[in-house]
Amino acid sequence: MIVVPGPASTELGRRVATLLGARMVPVSFKRFPDGESYVRFMGEVEGEVVAIVQTTSPPQNERLIQLLLMADNAKDMGAKSVIAVVPYLAYARQDRRFLPGEAFSLKTVVRLLQCCGVDELITVNVHNPTVLRSLQIPFRDLSAIGVLAQHLMNKGLQGAFSISLGKKGLEMAREAHNILRGGYGYIQTRRDRVTGEVSIEEKPLPIHGRDVIIFDDIISSGGTMAKAVRWAKDQGARRVYAACVHPLLAPGAMERILESGAEGVVGTDCVPSPVSRVSVAPLIAEALGERKGRLE
Ligand code: R5P
């Protein structure tokens, strides 16, 4: 197996290759003056299973096109098969037609990946694994909640109460609780499809006087997390921390969350950011290692 660290995940891809003990083919890339992307593999991939590591966090469109160029290029250069390791999968939140006439963006992205030769997809805490599974691309979704919870435990938060946003995400809180052992629950958030406004459904949780960690897959504008943090503080929580797998952190997001009363924000290197203190490289290397084991 060969690991190709894409331009958006150079560091993560290198770490994965090292942990896996796999050969790495670096990618030379540039942006032309008109904005178009260029990629070139600096090594051969013929006859090999190629794992391309490329997140598609902002600028999503550019990173997505780089991924498509790399996948198609790998096949053109004779790769036996292509695994796209996409820690953050762009457009995954538009996982249906919420309003008439809207594009089903996730489906389009999956079709593009398949057209460009991607045989398998590996994601990390993708927004809706059920919908992705229904799109019939062989895929595996890894969970970074365990490594996030372990990091927080090492920071002294053992026994903190774990909260997820939405019942759908309850598994995240349960996974964190398995490490932190402080109990878990969820708060229901609702987003108005037209205004984008997020509201929180009143539902008491036993967090008065407790340390609380709120887990979400994504922090983008920070609006959802800020509302949840404020809600937890209003319920009498002692210290509240925000944890997410994909810290997209649009401008103002950190300020919004900290102003709402959070002690801190932590994320993973699925999306490189100033709060990406937890690496998912061991998770990805393990998943690829299992795949590699099956090949040998
Ligand atoms: C929504 O379904 C996701 O799980 C996140 O809660 C959402 O994407 C966060 O977005 P924002 O930070 O813009 O509120």
Digit-coded pLDDT (tens) for 113-158: 999 999 999 999 999 999 998 998 999 999 999 999 999 999 999 9
Which residue, by CA, sits nearest to atom 10 of ligand 1? Answer: 220
CA distances to 51, 280, 294, 295 from 1, in Å: 7, 19, 11, 9
How many angstroms separate the alpha carbon of residue 164 from the centre of ligand 1? 12
pLDDT of residue 194: 82
How many angstroms separate the alpha carbon of residue 246 from the centre of ligand 1? 10
Query: Which of these, 275, 277, 234, lies nearest to 255 by C-alpha position?
Result: 275
Mutate to test the pocket of ligand 1, among 216, 246, 249 (most ligand atoms within 8 A of CB): 216
Q: Which residues line ligand 1 (CB under 6 A)?
A: 93, 165, 198, 216-225
How many angstroms separate the alpha carbon of residue 219 from the centre of ligand 1? 6
Mutate to test the pocket of ligand 1, among 145, 172, 219, 248 (most ligand atoms within 8 A of CB): 219
In single-letter form, the type of residue at position 84 comes to A
Taking the CA of residue 93 as reference, the ligand 1 atom at the shortest distance is 2
Cα–Cα distance, 15 to 21 (Å, whole number): 10
- Paired tokens of 24: 């790495």
pLDDT in tens, 45-67: 999 999 999 999 999 999 999 99
pLDDT of residue 295: 62
Residue in the structure block whose two tokens are 């490490």: 179
pLDDT of residue 190: 85
- Which CATH architecture best describes the domain 145-278? 3-Layer(aba) Sandwich (3.40)
- Paired tokens of 114: 């398949």
How many angstroms separate the alpha carbon of residue 86 from the centre of ligand 1? 19
Residue 110 CA neighbour count, 13 Å, CB half: 22
Which residue, by CA, sits nearest to atom 9 of ligand 1? Answer: 219
How many angstroms separate the alpha carbon of residue 173 from the centre of ligand 1? 16
How many angstroms separate the alpha carbon of residue 228 from the centre of ligand 1? 11
Taking the CA of residue 169 as reference, the ligand 1 atom at the shortest distance is 4
Same fold, 2-143+280-295 and 145-278: yes
- Paired tokens of 83: 């695994």
Contact 71, 53 (CB under 8 A): no
How many angstroms separate the alpha carbon of residue 222 from the centre of ligand 1? 7
CA distances to 52, 54, 180 from 112, in Å: 15, 15, 40
User: What is the sign of the dihedral through the CA atoms of 175, 177, 183 and 186?
Assistant: negative
Which residues of the chain fall below pLDDT 70? 294-296
Query: Cα 100 vs. chain centroid, distance in angstroms?
Result: 28
Domain borders along the chain are: 2-143+280-295, 145-278
Characterize the bridge pairing of strands 37-41 and 49-53.
Answer: unpaired
**Out of 3.40.50.720, 3.30.750.24, 3.40.220.10, 3.40.50.2020, which CATH number does the structure's domain 2-143+280-295 have?**
3.40.50.2020
